Amino acid sequence: MTEEPRPERDPDAGDVGADAEVPTAPEIAEEIAEVEERRYPSTLGGALYILVLIAGAVGVAWSGWGDWRIGVTVLAGALLAAALFRLVLPQPDAGMLAVRHRFVDVALFGVVGGVLIFLVRTIPNQPGL
């Protein structure tokens, strides 16, 4: 089999060939940073979302390495707090807590948190474990 010669590519033509230089992730990040200065977090809801994530992670970790009832209760508390934050924060300030309509977000956070609390309180202790 003989290989056919590859046609020359114009780097300004816009098509990316095997020989074209593709920008790396840090180069792309630098270009974005030059265009817009990033703020951490940009809304109150963003800060509260980070707190909910931290509390949820603590609850999951506590469930794995400590008393599971306390860990699941902490996780449920984080979800109930997220429901409360989503309920009281206006849409522009809700940040990543606002995924769907307010009613749906509050209902999902509240129902899952409430069910976890219910399960923690109603599952009997297992002797010998």
> Tens digit of pLDDT for each residue in 36-90?
665 566 678 888 999 999 999 999 999 999 889 999 999 999 999 999 999 998 8
Mean pLDDT on 4-33: 67
Residue 15 has pLDDT above 60, yes or no: no
Global pTM reads: 0.66
Mean pLDDT score of the chain: 83
What does the pLDDT read at residue 38? Answer: 58
Q: How many residues does the chain have?
A: 129
